[in-house]
């Protein structure tokens, strides 16, 4: 049914554009023959239809990007689930790379979860995931680490620099904006840059000993395009 609604939207959009062009044309002709009042009416109608087209297109673009953000978050949730399945079979140790998930956990049919829908990139071979994936992965973690510790994340460049989804060990997926903002209670929320540059936020703990241990045994494996 999605194709039907897409065609219907395109038809309505084309009718609005055609109407705007027609009314503008009629307005110009009426101005030429000095029928100013009727010309103004047609001009207003053409401008009104033009604004409708603009706002509809803006709304559709925004809705599509929001949908892609949600799909990106679902991808990260799937990746975290694969990592936890791996840990259950390997004494709570997470895979050192995403390549380690292939075979028993990450199948050929699951490749698309490693590509952000907003990037429009193509998936590649499972033998070299970090060559083409859009997601960064934190290597060296275990299932016993803080639930608020980041395990994988998307990158802002995949979302036009607006922000990125982040996956935590506790299976929580959260969107972090690149711009400072406040929540509904007026509290400042950390930006994506603050999250990735502040160890206590990134690793989900303020314990100095745990932070030192996590920083020592973990490393972030970025996609090849970001190295």
Which two structure tokens, joined as six digits, stand for 63? 């809705």
Q: How far apart are CA 223 and CA 113, in angstroms?
A: 14
Residue boundaries of the structural domains of the chain: 2-62, 71-226
pLDDT at 225: 64
Q: How far apart are CA 88 and CA 85, in angstroms?
A: 5
Q: How far apart are CA 173 and CA 154, in angstroms?
A: 11
Check if the beta carbon of residue 173 is closer than 8 Å to that of residue 77.
yes
Tell me whether strands 188-189 and 173-177 are parallel, antiparallel or unpaired.
Answer: unpaired
**Is 90 exceeded by the pLDDT of residue 124?**
no
Dihedral sign from CA coordinates of 128, 130, 135, 141: positive
Give mean pLDDT, residues 154-174: 93
- Non-local CB neighbours of 5 within 8 Å, separated by 6+ positions: none
pLDDT at 201: 95
pLDDT at 1: 46
Q: Using one digit for the tens of pLDDT, what is the confidence trace for 17-70?
A: 777 677 677 667 766 666 666 666 666 766 777 777 777 766 666 677 788 889
pLDDT range class, residue 227, cuts 50, 70, 90:
very low
pLDDT range class, residue 190, cuts 50, 70, 90:
very high
């Amino acid at each position: 049914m999605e194709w039907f609604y897409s065609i219907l939207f395109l038809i309505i959009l084309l009718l609005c554009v055609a109407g705007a062009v027609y009314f503008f044309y009629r307005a110009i002709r009426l101005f030429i023959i000095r029928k100013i009042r009727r010309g103004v009416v047609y001009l207003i109608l053409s401008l009104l239809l033009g604004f409708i087209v603009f706002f509809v297109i803006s709304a559709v673009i925004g809705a599509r990007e929001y949908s892609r953000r949600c799909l990106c978050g679902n991808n990260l949730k799937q990746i975290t689930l694969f990592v936890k399945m791996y840990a259950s079979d390997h004494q709570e140790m997470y895979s050192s790379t995403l390549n380690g998930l292939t075979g028993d956990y990450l199948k050929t049919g699951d490749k698309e979860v490693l590509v952000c829908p907003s990037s429009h990139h193509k998936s590649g071979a499972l033998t070299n995931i970090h060559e083409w994936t859009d997601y960064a992965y934190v290597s060296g973690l275990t299932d016993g680490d803080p639930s608020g510790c980041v395990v994988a994340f998307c990158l802002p460049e995949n979302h036009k620099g607006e922000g990125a989804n982040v996956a935590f060990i506790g299976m929580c997926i959260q969107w972090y904006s690149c711009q400072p903002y406040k929540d509904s209670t007026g509290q400042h929320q950390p930006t994506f840059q603050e999250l990735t540059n502040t160890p206590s936020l990134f690793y989900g703990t303020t314990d100095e000993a745990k932070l030192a241990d996590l920083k020592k045994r973990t490393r972030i494996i970025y996609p090849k395009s970001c190295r």
